[in-house]
Structure 1
């Protein structure tokens, strides 16, 4: 925390010069000793630091630096940890820079008024989501409530700035709606999800490339890198001669073809040499990045800073990799997590290690550092972008136009783990993703709920059409329906002629329409059809534990149905005949019936009919109708 004397003196400062004089030599914590007045602030990255060039002006520049100092020292709200410092600094810097564009130079920070903020919010609404904009509003509120009392008066914001700006409430309401949609997996899904069928195809191609042709690519890569030190003409000749003399490629079609062309000609004229080699190297790199991320579940910032040639601990079944989690770690140094990964994931990481060693000649360093065809890159942001571009290059290589993002790879694998696992799947997904809370894991899985929901909805609609036709055909055929719901539909009667046709058609359309609207569920049980009213939870008593409002991936279990007593049961004649054939109801012997009817307790309770089971009564009703 800042020295108490400095905080007291800060309140007494009257101008910019006073503040710079007071804070001269004071450094931002955990920023590689960056001092208060330096133009470039070094902010924590996943490994090392990234440079932030401060470009705000006037009082906005001063406010940015003072707020950052207070925030990082724990005097304003929660103190951001690790890469959270970079995120906070960038968001605050962008906010102040945009406000400066609207207000121009100001003498005091409380010169920013409602009209300025209204204009800012209106402009930003066209650029970002309400959720992002709501977080920016919160930064201003935090400034007012927690920073204002610690700032000199000329750096304080007007206390009514946020509360009296009309757009604020609208933005917050929209952000709340988006958050609810996010949690349920229906809002903005297209940005977070990648189609599973396409993902399957991409992963298959990536694995095939790694397993089948990586050796050929690793053999040509050193030659290509060495050629970059030569002029264009000399590098072309160097590669051409190397291809003629080196051992024959074994599996990569394009490289085999190129090598054959070189060996059967006397010079390199007319041969496209460098492009197919560069393309093959980039495709292998992209395949390895894709498989490495999806098999480890790492955030891209964590994956890029894996050490080259990491140690894999081998147990009886798995390769165990120790990864460093930084984003959700409780300490600045991050937290280590040992996790099992499949053999193909290990191969992808080892091949990437070999490629980067070929590029810069080093055995140690970060796993992702620089491109094969550019100068070495140290910046962490560039390394993350390299991962994104590598995946994009690979997808382009195999003919996929829209590539998945690294984060979508995490979402996909989390879903697959839970989908394929029983019981402990959710906890396995949490560990795999490196989440500290199961809540975040549930949000990941919620993104895929709509896939389940859509598939089940389509299945239920198809079932509804079939079952509605079965029920309606009974009515069209002049037959009676049995069971409590069946009797309700037909009022214990039958329809004849054109009335039967019309009522049957109307009933079929009504049932299908109500299923599509989500108002009823129609189920085929082992002995009948049940029509449940979804707006009435009590109508599904037999399905206790199934929460239709909070989808969990289950459908109602027909085995739970109690058709004889169910208010939702519909028995057709064929259903009843099947009951008879299966002998689910055993007839009481005539001799025993006679003995029972001589018992006054049986007679007083209504006779043998009151002793019948619900299914027996339904069968008896049918038999009386047909005169059996």
Structure 2
């Protein structure tokens, strides 16, 4: 925590020497913060070790940089970062200052930095870095001006017009918005992993957990024991182990059938070692896949999980674990989450194998490979490599990132009714109450709730791109929200581009601030104000959270009368086909001749038919010029 008298003295400083004197005995206000005078800044600790930022600026700008870091870690500059976010922010901010100062050897003090330097920085970075990333960097300067200037002495303050006078900064903002809007799950490294491939991986993992558990544990014990054998002992021992034990694992079973056919000791030992190691690691990978997928854990939290953690049994199995990433301190917070039985089994197997590998020396659930003589706790790269290797062993070419497993579970909960989703859910839940169990997990598992929010946000951003594409293509939007988003006049040329960018930025900002969600229903898009859950009363009384969890009920959609609805032309074409194709022609003719039916509004009373009528009139007007 910052000290008020430090801030008061800081504002009165007249030069760098003064500032260094003021902070001479101060430590940075993060946990385990180092002295201000040191040549490095502590960021955070994790299972991969301690992370520091090593300083590379000259003495003048080093002091300025450290002062702003002090303010940031005190919570005085925007949002206060936590855990790994601290290290990332410090390194990124130092990199920005270093790059700008390096542009011009005449920059000796803060006041020497001008808008031309900002333009040079933007132009140079855009050659190798995406617009959104460059914008994030520039926003560190915006925070410096907006938040830090008022705490700093005059010689450390950035010119308030620095960004306003930049020629390239406004264009960068536009490019960044377009880039972010175009990014979708299909395009980024954390896109939804195909469910049909996940089914294949999950089915194989369940077989390893359910069917091969005992023989893999036995194999792991033997593998560790045989490491100390000499060549001749190992040949005899390997032979006895394979021949005298029964295996149903196909790879080991096939090895057993061939083992008597060779007299080459060296090749035999090598082949046995490779196959046994691979089968042990296939089992580990299977357990990791199931745990990450069905709990929504992040890798960092998973590798911090202790072996044989506390699992209680009631209506559901419940796992107690520590969460670090979103915790208020680096010590984490303890959470309890519901898990399916298959996760419980995976945790037990993985814990047992790790204990065998290091004789219980370490406490974390995953270690390095069994092939090493000294086994230590695994790092995140081990998990990523193991999952990717596992997929390759199953001849799956689609690259997978473990974080996709977290999003896949959220997708499964949100889009349960898809065929592959139902089959996948049945595989690991093993009973008929799939929807109830998944909803229970989605509600009480904090990680999955966060993943669902991430997924909803990403899907909303994709729909923003679809909406603005319609406008770019001069297609009309229908429904109440269509009228709000698309004024009753057209833009052309640069005007149209500016209008689209402005609208897109506005929608994306609301989504980013969690004030807006866009949901796909089978008949339209639904643009929903998250502050007014009662507006979804048409959907069986669901609010925004439950409609995302359960899916919308199109039979209750009010169509043209709904203030949330937004229809594309393609939506209405589908409505036309569905409506007019399901009325018997003879019945339709008789009803149209019925005076009472026509006086009551006839077919046009149907809200969907109203919007179809509006669409037809619009199309007719287009034809007539």
Same fold? TM cut 0.5: yes
Which SS does the other structure have where 1:395 is aligned?
helix
Query: C-alpha deviations, 1:300-324, integer Å up to 9, x for none?
Result: 22222112111111113x2111233
Q: Deviations over 1:201-252 (max 9, x none)?
A: 2222222233233433332334444666x6xxx6665653432233525122
Which stretch shifts more, 397-406 or 43-52? 43-52
- Give the SS at the match of 2:211: helix
Aligned counterpart, 2:360: 362
Q: Distance in 2 between matches of 1:342 and 1:406?
A: 19
Alpha-carbon displacement from aligned partner over 1:149-182 (angstroms, at most 9, x marks no partner): 3234444333333222222222222333445556
* Alpha-carbon contact 1:328-1:436 (below 8 Å) kept: no
Aligned to 1:389: 385
Contact 2:201/2:391 (<8 A) preserved = yes
* 1:453-532 equivalence runs, <5 A: none
Going from structure 1 to structure 2, the CA distance change for 1:138 and 1:615 (only over 3 Å counts) comes to closer
* Residues 550, 571 of structure 1: alpha-carbon distance in 2 compared, 3 angstrom cutoff: closer
Contact 2:327 / 2:333 at 8 angstroms: preserved in 1? Answer: yes
Which residue of 250, 253, 267 maps to 1:253?
250
Query: 2:255 and 2:354 mapped to 1: Cα distance?
Result: 24
Contact 1:29–1:72 under 8 Å retained in 2:
yes
TM-score (normalised: structure 1): 0.66
Give the 3-state SS of the residue equivalent to 1:269 in structure 2: helix
CA deviation digits over 1:571-591, x for unaligned, max 9?
99xx334679xxx98xxxxxx
Shift of 1:295: 0.6
Q: Work out whether residues 47 and 379 of structure 2, in 8 Å CA contact, stay in contact via their aligned partners in 1.
A: no
The runs of 5 or more residues in structure 1 that have no matched partner are: 454-519, 522-539, 564-568, 586-607, 619-628
Q: What aligned pairs does 1:283-362 form with structure 2 within 5 A after superposition? A: 283-316=282-315, 318-330=316-328, 333-362=331-360
Q: TM-score, normalized by length of structure 2?
A: 0.66
Q: Which residue of 1 aligns with 2:44?
A: 44
Cα deviation 1:100-143 (Å, max 9, x = unaligned): 55446942133333333323323433444433332222211111
- 8 A Cα contact 2:77 2:148, kept in partner: yes
Give 1:391 shift.
0.8
Please say if residues 185 and 458 of structure 2, whose CA atoms lie closer than 8 Å, have aligned partners that are also in contact.
no
Deviates more, 1:97-106 or 1:409-418: 97-106
Of residues 415, 419, 426, the one that matches 1:419 is 415
Q: State the alpha-carbon separation in 2 of the partners of residues 235 and 425 from structure 1.
A: 52
CA distance in 1 between partners of 2:250 and 2:457 (Å)? 43
Once residues 57 and 394 of structure 2 are traced to their aligned partners in structure 1, the CA distance between those partners, rounded to angstroms, is 48
Q: 1:36 and 1:357, CA in 2 relative to 1: closer, same or farther beyond 3 A?
A: farther
Secondary structure, in 3 states, of the residue corresponding to 1:420?
coil
Aligned to 2:546: none
Structure 1 residue 415, shift from structure 2 partner: 1.4
Aligned-pair CA distance for 1:92: 2.0
Q: Within 1, Cα distance between the matches of 2:137 and 2:113? A: 15
- In structure 2, distance between residues paired with 1:212 and 1:393: 21
TM-superposition CA deviations, 1:447-469 (whole Å, max 9, x none): 8979x99xxxxxxxxxxxxxxxx
- Give me the whole-angstrom Cα distance separating, in 2, the residues matched to 1:37 and 1:371: 42
State the distance in 1 between where 2:117 and 2:224 align: 54
Q: What is the rounded CA distance, in whole Å, between the counterparts of 1:69 and 1:542 in structure 2? A: 54
Partner SS for 2:379: helix
Cα contact 1:109–1:157 (8 A) shared by 2: yes
Q: 1:16 to 1:188 in 2, by over 3 A?
A: same
DSSP-derived class of the 1:165 partner: coil
Cα distance in 2 between the residues matched to 1:555 and 1:315: 49
Aligned to 1:4: 4
SS of structure 2 residue aligned to 1:368 = coil
Mark the CA change 1:250 to 1:71 in structure 2 (over 3 Å): closer, same or farther: same
Please name the residue that 1:116 is paired with.
117
Tell me if structure 2 keeps the 8 A contact 1:45–1:86: no
Measured after TM superposition, the shift of residue 331 of structure 1 is 5.3
Distance 1:542 1:446, change over 3 A: closer
Matched, 1:72 2:68: no
2:102 & 2:259 partners in 1: Cα distance?
Answer: 60
After superposition, residues 579-598 of structure 1 pair within 5 angstroms as none
- Whether the 8 Å contact between 2:45 and 2:51 is mirrored in structure 1 is no
Offset of 1:3 from its aligned partner? 2.2
Contact 1:110 1:157 in 2 (8 A): yes
Q: Specify the SS of the correspondent of 1:401.
A: coil
**Residue of structure 2 in register with 1:429 after alignment:** 442
Secondary structure in 1 matching 2:31: coil
**1:392 Cα offset (Å):** 0.7
CA distance in 1, matches of 2:299, 2:567: 32
1:543–1:556 Cα contact (<8 Å) kept: no
Which string of whole-angstrom CA distances, capped at 9 and with x for unpartnered residues, describes residues 182-201 of structure 1? 6xx57846752222222222
Give the Å deviation of 1:388. 1.2
Residue 363 (structure 1) shift: 6.2
Q: Is contact 1:193-1:448 (8 Å) kept?
A: no
Out of 576, 582, 603, the position equivalent to 2:585 is: 576
Q: Which residue is equivalent to 2:265?
A: 268
1:409 is aligned to 405
C-alpha spacing 1:609/1:17, structure 2 compared with 1 (3 Å): closer
Q: 5 Å matches for 1:163-312?
A: 163-180=164-181, 188=187, 191-225=190-224, 239-246=234-241, 247-259=244-256, 268-271=265-268, 272-312=271-311
Residue 12 and residue 289 in structure 1: after superposition, are their counterparts in 2 closer, same or farther (change >3 A)?
same
Distance 1:556 1:376 in 2: 63
**Superposed displacement of residue 84, structure 1:** 2.8
Q: 1:33 to 1:192 in 2, by over 3 A?
A: same
**Retained in 2: the 8 A contact 1:40–1:53?**
yes
> Considering only aligned residues, what root-mean-square deviation do their CA atoms show, in Å?
4.4
Asked if the contact 1:411–1:445 (Cα under 8 Å) also holds between the matched residues in 2, the reply is no
Whether the 8 Å CA contact 1:326–1:333 is kept in 2: the answer is yes
Unaligned runs of 5+ in 2: 418-434, 468-522, 525-556, 604-625
Aligned length: 489
User: 1:42·1:49 contact (CA, 8 Å) conserved in 2?
Assistant: no
User: Where does residue 108 of structure 2 map in the other structure?
Assistant: 107
Shift of 1:384: 1.9
Separation in structure 2 between the aligned mates of residue 192 and residue 336 of structure 1, nearest angstrom:
29
Change (3 A) 1:391 1:347: same
In structure 1, what is the Cα distance between the partners aligned to 2:308 and 2:186?
40
Q: Aligned pair in 2 of structure 1 residues 145, 616: CA closer, same or farther (>3 Å)?
A: closer
The CA distance in 1 between the partners of 2:149 and 2:194, in whole Å, is: 48
Residues 434 and 262 of structure 1, relative CA distance in 2, 3 Å threshold:
same
> Would you say the 8 A contact 1:134–1:172 is kept in 2?
yes
Decide which of 442, 448, 463 is 2:456's aligned counterpart: 442
